[in-house]
Amino acid sequence: MAPPRKKSKTVGNKVKIAADNRKARHNFFIEDAFEAGILLQGTEVKSLRNGKANIQDAYAEEKDGELWLINAHIPEFSHGNRFNHSPRRPRKLLMHKREISRLGGSVQRSGMTLVPLTLYFDDKGRAKLELGLAKGKNLHDKRETEKQRDWNKQKQRLLKDHA
């Protein structure tokens, strides 16, 4: 018997999440978010629909006026035979030239990085990647964020009990 498949979530109106980077918001301050298309091979799309992709260690970088997703893991498709893809190959991201140059400039100038937040299929069935322009958090920043989150939870409990 095959192991149970990890189910993809559906958000909003027919948007299917294939991979989510939940640690990104913990490790980085996300300044801005952008949507980019992603150039995939056929077996990669089929594998993404199974929902086993991993973008935890991935990042995006600009090379020669193009944006590339580096170190994203999309596992090989089980029925892909000789036409299968390599799991960690660099994948080209599709954005307008003006957006790419603006992102590349802000990464070089202010020491920011491009972190993938979510890999999903839009309502038309196309694979999209939500990229975040991010600045790294220090340990004390992470602690402060956690304190603030705990305080907000406690505040909600107190208001709920009081009402």
Kindly report, residue by residue over 24-58, the tens digit of the pLDDT.
888 888 888 999 999 988 888 888 888 888 899 89
CB–CB of 1/105 below 8 Å? Answer: no
Lowest-confidence segment of 11-25, 94-108, 134-148 by average pLDDT? 11-25
What does pTM read for this prediction? 0.74
pLDDT of 163 above 80: no
Q: Is residue 154 part of a domain?
A: no
Residue 86 sits in a domain whose CATH number is 2.40.280.10
Q: Is residue 17 part of a domain?
A: yes
**pLDDT of amino acid 14:** 61
Q: How far is CA 99 from CA 33, 47, 93, in A?
A: 12, 29, 12
Identify the bridge partners of residue 91 per DSSP, sorted by sequence position: 69
Q: How many domains does the chain have?
A: 1
Q: What is the mean pLDDT of residues 15-22?
A: 86
DSSP assignment, residue 14?
T
**pLDDT of amino acid 92:** 92
**pLDDT of amino acid 37:** 93
Whole-number Å distance between alpha carbons of 78 and 87? 12
pLDDT of 7 above 50: no
- Say which amino acid occupies 10: T
Widest Cα–Cα separation across the chain? 64
Work out the number of other CB atoms within 10 angstroms of the CB of residue 118: 22
Q: What is the mean pLDDT of residues 51-77?
A: 88
Q: Is residue 112 part of a domain?
A: yes
Whole-number Å distance between alpha carbons of 76 and 133? 29
CB–CB of 137/118 below 8 Å? Answer: no
Among 149, 130, 144, 142, residue whose Cα is nearest residue 27: 142
Q: What is the domain extent for residue 54?
A: 12-138
